[in-house]
Amino acid sequence: MILIGVRERLQPPLPQQYLGNAVQAGFITMKAGEVLEQGLGYVALQMNTVIAMHTEEEFRNYLQSWRENPKIFTPGSLCRSNGFGASSSPRHNVYGTDFGWGTPIGVRSGPGNKSDGKITIFPGAKQGSVDIEACLSPELLQAMGDDAEFMDAVLII
């Protein structure tokens, strides 16, 4: 699942002061073997294709359809049990904001945005770095810890 921003796709675009989400979900379905065989470039091409399909007309058709048959999605319902979800937002200048407590040292999503298998990617505190938040079940974390081949590839600091 990819959340595709529609702010700039609308005519006229939503104003910068608009407070709220303006996104539409795009979905890519691939088998693990296909990803391994084709590589990440192929995955990026599939993502690009899905994003390009989400035009203003497509978004307006989605809104009309939703008005006729509304569906409420929860974060956990958007990812299948063997799915992968990634999200972020370039609109949050978290590290540039100081509420008087000092400069933030980390960014995390709130409890309403957590589901098993979800990965959130935020711009990092240092220029060009990224922070990655991974939400994984305790059972999966234990299985990863018990996997010698996986642990050989992991550096724990």
Asked if 147 is an active-site residue, the reply is no
Which residues, including other chains, have CB under 8 Å from residue 60's CB and lie 6 or more apart? none
Longest dimension (CA), the chain: 55
Give the C-alpha distances (Å, rounded to integers) separating 61 from 12, 17, 65. Answer: 17, 25, 6
Looking at the DSSP assignment, which residues form a beta bridge with residue 51? none
Looking at the DSSP assignment, which residues form a beta bridge with residue 133? 120
Q: What is the spatial distance between Cα 135 and Cα 86, in angstroms, rounded to a whole number?
A: 11
Catalytic residue among 98, 131, 146, 152: 98
Active site residue ranges: 98
